[in-house]
Amino acid sequence: MKYVSTRGQMAPAGFSDVLLDGLAPDGGLVIPAEIPTISSEQREAWRTLSYPELAIEIISLYATDIPRADLEQIIRAAYSADRFAAPETVPVKKLDERISIVGLSEGPTMAFKDLAMQFLGEVMPYVLQQRGRTLNILGATSGDTGSAAEYAFRGKPNISVFMLSPQGRMSAIQRAQMYSLDDENIHNIAVEGNFDDCQNLVKELNNDAVFKANHSIGAVNSINFGRICAQIVYYFWAWLRATDSLPADAREATVTTAEREASLVSIAVPSGNFGNIFAGHLARQMGLPIHRLILATNENNVLDEFFRTGIYAPRSRENTLVTSSPSMDISKASNLERFVRELFGTDAEGFVQSWSKLDEDGSVDLTAHLSRFVEEYGIITDSSTHEDRVETIRTEFETSGVIVDPHTADGLTVARRHNEIHGRILVLETAKPEKFGETIEEALGEKTPALTPELEALLALPQHAVDMADSGEELRNYIAEHAPAQA
């Protein structure tokens, strides 16, 4: 498997190369030169595998430059029982006959990011050791990526983490999980601004080829394809679990007759940076018969607007709202570039010309492709409000006894709204509700469960982070001071 840049100016590279580099040298995002396809027979052969075994099969299609035996050891360590609370790693829980929750928050930081980050926390040190290199990870977080990365890499040899987060825009537990860490290789930087400002700083330094090379800068945000390929796994896993009880001839997405519409499976994805749902898109392109990919946003609904109108117009910092689902308070979705590049097929030059309008005009017009979003890619979108989330959390608890976090509530709200979608809908869980206590308390009042002693202890720990202006120069100076230039 080789990887190329969305912008066409990178020589094909192997998985280990793009794993360490993050952004492509031309400023684009790396994508597989070809998407592997899975036959229905192969998919059915995977039905009896455990989650780590399924991860080995899928990730090995993308990480072809790592020996199979080594990759198996890496993946089994990443998804070991001491890291994920549920015996099946990712439980799928039925809420009713139509809706199920895919439990992606069983990892050490109680968020779906753990499923990809624990893999990176094993595979990146392996590659660095093989190559005799060190790496300084530069990342941005709107809430869960930061803690997942820091828990995955804390204490790891040859790696330091510099994590940017927006000042005052995360929940108390999200901050505590990050800012309470004392490991020497972990650096928390609280940036004056929002997540998009943090993300822009990451891109700025990644596009500074000299600084990036001198300080061995890498990325673990969803711009890193290593995360995307690890996320593909749980789409296959969830679809297999949702169809375990169906007869084999009823499992294909091509079923269109009314009698068999109940066999269809769609997946609702709370979406901010488009990385999670892009993994689902790749799974569908690989041959997983997902009927609909349902993209759910909050009030920062730039992605919803794009898929409805064909116009992508990211908002400014001032127009990016602070919401009760803060991990989705994003107005410029980095991974959308990967999807838009696919729309242009072999016309790489056409993509570059079109995408450049984003920097020149602040928006890009892709209305010529609008009909393809649903017809070819099966993507539909919608958004929810704070009031929707609170009502969904309350109603779900009263109906099923299940408490969901506000991001998962975005997905659940949208899933329940779209009654025209036939078959089952799997809603991807984003995080444990305990991470967003204020919103849960607003929804449930006196019925709100008390925090566990472990979380109470976490909140009581001293916290420390470096406050920083939205300044590339300040960030360069800080990294240069704490991560000397490579020899």
- Residues serving a catalytic function are 113
Name the residue type at position 158.
Answer: N
Are the C-beta atoms of 196 and 142 separated by less than 8 Å?
Answer: no
Residue 193's SS3 state is coil
Burial of 424: CB neighbours in 10 Å, binned 0-12, 13-18, 19+:
buried
Burial of 42: CB neighbours in 10 Å, binned 0-12, 13-18, 19+:
exposed
DSSP 311-357: EE-PPPSTTSPP-SSGGG--SS-TTHHHHHHHHTTT-HHHHHHHHTH
Are the C-beta atoms of 37 and 52 separated by less than 8 Å?
Answer: no
Helices and strands in the chain, H and E counts? 21, 15
What contacts 110, CB < 8 A, 6 or more positions away?
431, 432, 434, 435
Are the C-beta atoms of 343 and 372 separated by less than 8 Å?
Answer: yes
Could you tell me whether strands 311-312 and 364-365 are parallel, antiparallel, or unpaired per DSSP bridges?
antiparallel
Q: How far is Cα 324 from Cα 262, in angstroms, rounded to an integer?
A: 34
What contacts 168, CB < 8 A, 6 or more positions away?
none
Token readout for 289 is 């018969």
Nearest to 127 by CA among 169, 67, 182: 67
What contacts 262, CB < 8 A, 6 or more positions away?
422, 423, 424
Q: How far is Cα 426 from Cα 286, in angstroms, rounded to an integer?
A: 19
